[in-house]
Amino acid sequence: MRRLVTTSVLAALVATALAITAIRAVAWNRGNLADYHERRARLMAETGGGVVVLFGYNEADVAASVTTFHQNENFYYLTGWNEPNAMMLLVPKASTGAGRDQTVELDKEVLFIPAHDYRQEKWTGPKLGPEDAEAPSRTGFAVVRSASLFQADLLEALKRFPKIYTELTPQPESGEDAFQAEMVAKLRKIAPLATMEDVRPLVSRMRTIKSSGEIQLIRRAVDASMEAHLAAIQAVKPGKWEYEIAALMKYEFERRGCEWPSYPPIVGTGFFSTVLHYDEDDHQMQAGDVVVMDVAGSFSGYASDITRTLPVNGRFTPRQREIYDVVLGAQNAALAAARPGATTGRSGNSLDRIARDYINSHGKDLHGKPLGQYFIHGLSHGVGLNVHDPADYNRPLEPGMVITIEPGVYIPEEKIGVRIEDMILITRDGYELLTQRLPRNPDEIEKVMSH
């Protein structure tokens, strides 16, 4: 009996170890740390010769007591470091050449992290300290120093390069305005005589083109989110509550490794299918209504963004299908024109204009007017570390860009809202539909719902 118990305990321990291993297999993936070094070197080459300083969030900046810590995006993009209270300092070599021929190369890159607080680590778990031998290999920085040394190192670097490139403007939709202002004030106090220049435009332009490693992570986020949508397609029915479907979808993408929703889940039925950012998700689904599900998760910090519109009872009414077909036609028209060189803004013959013209020339509202007035948002946006990644919508598309194509028609008078949102990767010859596995055709949707 004793041997049986011991064997059972051993088996349980082995099973637990295997489970932990399985969890770690889908844990946070930073990819190749050399990629971050390459970005830092490329950023330095884009500057006019000055030090680059970026601050990571502290736990208070993201309310870490109630949610998972989530790093400042530009800081993470350049460091791959997802722990609080860190700082980065990049120092150039003495420049060569002059004017347009000037070359600025990266000389020194330092990551500053907090020293060990072993008492705090009893609560938070073991942390990497600057004095740990494995700090360089785990961070990808040859030099890792205590955060307490940051001010002295910065002042020393400024003796040779009295300009600081840092975030002088907050990222849109980030809520980091107070953080950004506080960090600028901190730098001005440390170095009141240094000139400052905004690094955000340089980093934003870099972030527009995704590396192969970033694309792999986006694929993981998209794959997990598609599974969430497939589960929801089969679960939607009259009597279900919107929050039930939102919770199911969140469960499905999180159990596949996503850390958090890329944005608050939007599950809106009836009239609320016409409300773009409706995220209360507190109404019961009724037969005869459509439901718009704009729900997706982030994997290793990289977002996805997917929307599907379903008939709650499994069958579109003739009017609902009419509107759906117009939106689908507009999406297909835009997809057919998606390739390098196209644009997504509203000027010229952009993808947005193509979709908008299609909607305006197909279908009418109850008063005989074109449907274009009910397409009230843009067609596309970039996706990456942010669900609305930095983008210049008049910049021609290039291979490596990841964007959405999401036309929509929202008619409150008829309580019909339809949005179809897919993600594409711009390739050398055109595009790849990353969300191809997820049904878009109304017949396919009805077929999946019937099963």
pLDDT in tens, the chain (451 residues): 333 334 443 344 334 333 333 333 456 899 999 999 999 999 999 998 899 999 999 987 776 667 788 899 999 999 999 999 999 999 999 765 555 557 789 999 999 999 999 999 998 899 999 999 999 999 999 999 999 999 999 999 999 999 999 999 988 777 788 899 999 999 999 999 999 999 999 999 999 999 999 999 999 999 999 999 999 999 999 999 999 999 999 999 999 999 999 999 999 999 999 999 999 999 999 999 999 999 999 999 999 999 999 999 999 999 999 999 999 999 999 999 999 999 999 888 899 999 999 999 999 999 999 999 999 999 999 999 999 999 899 999 999 999 999 999 999 999 999 999 999 999 999 999 999 999 999 999 999 999 8
Does a structural domain hold residue 335? yes
181 and 219 part of one domain: no
54 and 76 part of one domain: yes
CATH code for the domain in which residue 332 is found:
3.90.230.10
User: Which residues span the domain enclosing 81?
Assistant: 29-207
Question: Of 160, 179, 207, which residue constitutes the final position of a domain?
Answer: 207
* pTM given for the model: 0.91
Paired with 110 in beta bridges are: 89, 143
231 and 182 part of one domain: no
Does a structural domain hold residue 9? no
64 and 185 part of one domain: yes
199 and 230 part of one domain: no
Number of domains making up the chain: 2
Does a structural domain hold residue 17? no
Question: Of 179, 207, 235, which residue constitutes the final position of a domain?
Answer: 207
CA distance 33 to 287: 51
Report the SS3 class of residue 280: coil
CATH code for the domain in which residue 92 is found:
3.40.350.10
Does a structural domain hold residue 20? no
Task: Yes or no: say if 235 and 293 are a contact pair by the CB < 8 Å rule.
Answer: no
Question: Of 152, 184, 207, which residue constitutes the final position of a domain?
Answer: 207
Task: Yes or no: say if 165 and 380 are a contact pair by the CB < 8 Å rule.
Answer: no
Q: What is the token pair recorded at 413?
A: 């008078």
Looking up tokens 């983008």, which residue turns up?
391
Does a structural domain hold residue 125? yes
Report the SS3 class of residue 202: helix
Task: Yes or no: say if 437 and 305 are a contact pair by the CB < 8 Å rule.
Answer: no
Angle at 255 between CA 19 and CA 122, to 5 degrees: 60
Looking up tokens 């970026």, which residue turns up?
54
170 and 194 part of one domain: yes
79 and 222 part of one domain: no
Which value, to the nearest 10 degrees, does the dihedral of the CA atoms of residues 119, 121, 127, 133 take? 40
190 and 43 part of one domain: yes
107 and 145 part of one domain: yes
